[in-house]
């Protein structure tokens, strides 16, 4: 027995190190470097964007699933029925074929929607509407907030001036509510809901949005008097309105099964892109863009309502500026920084006999440039007493201190080549909404917020330069 003990000890000594170095079972082991690089490719730029973790996040935050795509939420809310009329079905197929044959156009258009789509879908769902309606700006403007038709319909929802006034969309020299993405979204959905409440059909509500509810009422009355059907397929509508609903249903088909048509939808996270910040302070458009981490072009895609290189409203109103969520906190901090120069522009009243060219020369600018900045046609003269925007300081080096003419009279790729007849609603009360509070500048949709120091981050609702918009056939 005693002779066996040394043998056993020697055996355990020999087995022990090998046992201690055995790998974990495969079900518990960490992925190999090869698997990590194949399944989860690393973006070399991510560390530069966020070099340190947020100390307020729990340690297990990295295990949380990333947000899904907004396309999934849109698909889950599709509710518009297919058109049953054979002719309308053919129109839908024609519109689908038109989009499928233009993958570059579809990609540009949907990329342009990045900044707005989450907000629009959220508001559509909050109201219990079919999510196809969130795709309506694709039909109206290709999600281009600078889109302008020959009938002066503008913005992503293509409001004409009379309808914009009816829905309380304010417009003045500084600001154009027809282009304001948030305010017009509220107004467009108010209008569509009112049309649906009247006609009890989304097809007819959409048709009325395009040609005016008066036209739909008359056609319904005409068919009823002759005991004819009063659905969308049986009304006598213009070609533009007849194609309007099929265009939306074609967009729905593309979003529902893009791979079936050889298309790829750009990934858009199902999370807010922008935050609304209200302030009483004046700020240059160029400075605001820099604080938001955007180019001036991209800033104006997010804030298309601002008409001048200086953002200011009347003394008794706050200004609402949209900035990316990631930049909101620093934007507010910079607005309250007393050492930061926010304004390099001022207003000036022209005196008798004072010409634009002479004023421009004082500030080291050309007369053409000063006119462009002030939205004055090249061949137009301003009478004495008129107010114009000029640089804050009289220096020949205005190029470095003052923003360029960011808002030409007709933004690139802004015109629709075939403007449809636009909305002509009858007068009546409209609903109010406050999903994103406050609504930038829109009167009658939500209240403006205030802040003791002049700024406030109120809520949240991504960006590329506008591309050409060619309307569907």
pLDDT tens, position by position, 229-254: 999 999 999 999 999 999 999 999 99
Note if 397 is an active site residue: no
> Tokens standing for 373?
């900045």
φ/ψ of 277, rounded to 5, equals: -125, 125
Weakest mean pLDDT among 37-41, 163-167, 207-211: 37-41
Handedness of CA 427, 429, 433, 439 (dihedral sign): positive
What's the pLDDT score for residue 344? 84
Q: What is the pLDDT of residues 411-426, one digit of tens each?
A: 222 223 233 334 433 3
* 337-369 CB burial, b ≥16 within 10 A, e <16: eeeeebebbeebebeeebebeebbeebbbebeb
CA 125 – CA 300 distance, rounded (Å): 27
Quick check: bond before 91 cis, omega within 30?
Answer: no
Residues 71 and 268: beta-carbon distance below 8 Å: yes
CA 34 – CA 46 distance, rounded (Å): 20
> Tokens standing for 206?
């959409």
Residues 137 and 124: beta-carbon distance below 8 Å: no
CA 372 – CA 349 distance, rounded (Å): 17
Report CA-CA distances (Å) from 120 to 16, 285, 318, 321. Answer: 65, 25, 23, 17
CA 204 – CA 231 distance, rounded (Å): 7
Q: What is the pLDDT of residues 90-137, one digit of tens each?
A: 999 999 999 999 999 999 999 999 999 999 999 999 999 999 999 999
Q: Residue 388: which H helix or E strand, with range?
A: strand 387-391
Q: How confident is the model at residue 372 (pLDDT cuts 50, 70, 90)?
A: confident
* Structure-model confidence comparison of residues 155 and 392, the more confident one: 155
Tell me: pLDDT of 367 over 70.
yes
> Tokens standing for 155?
């913005």
CA 155 – CA 180 distance, rounded (Å): 7
What's the pLDDT score for residue 36? 29
Weakest mean pLDDT among 59-73, 287-301, 321-335, 357-371: 59-73
What's the pLDDT score for residue 394? 67
CA 49 – CA 284 distance, rounded (Å): 26
Q: What is the pLDDT of residues 257-316, one digit of tens each?
A: 999 999 999 999 999 999 999 988 889 999 999 999 999 999 999 999 998 899 976 556
Residues 366 and 378: beta-carbon distance below 8 Å: no
Residues 238 and 247: beta-carbon distance below 8 Å: no
Q: How confident is the model at residue 378 (pLDDT cuts 50, 70, 90)?
A: confident
CB-based burial of residue 62 (10 Å sphere; 0-12 exposed, 13-18 middle, 19+ buried)?
Answer: exposed
Which residue in the list 123, 132, 140, 219 is annotated as catalytic?
140
CA 449 – CA 452 distance, rounded (Å): 10
């Amino acid at each position: 027995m005693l002779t066996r003990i040394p043998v056993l000890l020697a055996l355990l000594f020999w087995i022990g190190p090998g046992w201690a170095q055995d790998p974990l079972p495969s079900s518990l082991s960490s992925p190999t470097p090869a698997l990590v690089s194949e399944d989860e490719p690393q973006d070399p730029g991510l560390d530069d964007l966020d070099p340190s973790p947020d100390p307020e996040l729990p340690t297990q935050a990295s295990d949380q699933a990333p947000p899904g795509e907004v396309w999934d939420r849109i698909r889950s809310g599709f509710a518009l029925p297919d058109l049953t009329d054979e002719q309308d079905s053919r129109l839908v197929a024609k519109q689908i074929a038109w989009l499928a044959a233009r993958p570059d156009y579809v990609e540009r258009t949907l990329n342009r929607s990045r900044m707005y789509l989450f907000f629009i879908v959220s508001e559509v769902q909050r109201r219990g509407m079919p999510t196809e309606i969130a795709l309506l700006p694709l039909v109206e403007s290709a999600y281009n907030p600078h889109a302008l038709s020959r009938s002066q319909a503008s913005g992503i929802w293509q409001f004409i001036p009379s309808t914009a006034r009816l829905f309380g969309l304010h417009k003045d020299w500084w600001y154009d509510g027809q282009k304001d993405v948030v305010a017009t979204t509220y107004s467009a959905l108010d209008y569509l809901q009112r049309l649906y409440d009247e006609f009890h059909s989304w097809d007819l509500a959409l048709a009325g949005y395009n040609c005016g509810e008066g036209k739909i009422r008359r056609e319904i009355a005409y068919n009823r008097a002759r005991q004819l059907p009063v659905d969308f397929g049986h009304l006598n509508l213009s070609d533009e309105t007849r194609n309007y609903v099929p265009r939306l249903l074609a967009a729905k088909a593309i979003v529902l099964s893009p791979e079936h048509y050889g298309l790829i939808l750009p990934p858009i996270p199902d999370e807010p892109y922008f935050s609304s910040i209200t302030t009483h302070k004046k700020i240059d458009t160029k400075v605001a863009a820099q604080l938001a981490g955007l180019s001036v072009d991209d800033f104006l895609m997010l804030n298309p309502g601002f008409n001048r290189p200086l953002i200011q409203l009347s003394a008794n109103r706050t200004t609402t500026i949209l900035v990316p969520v990631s930049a909101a906190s620093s934007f507010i901090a910079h607005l309250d920084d007393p050492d930061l120069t926010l304004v390099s522009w001022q207003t000036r009243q022209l005196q008798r006999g004072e010409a634009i060219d002479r004023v421009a020369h004082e500030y080291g600018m050309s007369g053409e440039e000063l006119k462009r900045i002030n939205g004055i046609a090249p061949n137009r003269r301003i009478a004495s007493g008129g107010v114009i925007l000029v640089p804050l300081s009289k220096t020949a080096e205005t190029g470095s201190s003052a923003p360029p003419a960011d808002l030409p009279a007709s933004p690139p790729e802004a015109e629709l080549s075939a403007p449809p007849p636009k909305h002509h609603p009858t007068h009546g009360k409209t609903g109010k909404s406050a999903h994103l509070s406050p609504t930038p500048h829109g009167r009658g949709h939500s209240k403006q917020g205030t802040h003791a120091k002049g700024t406030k981050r109120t809520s949240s609702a991504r960006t590329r330069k506008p591309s050409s918009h060619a309307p569907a056939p």
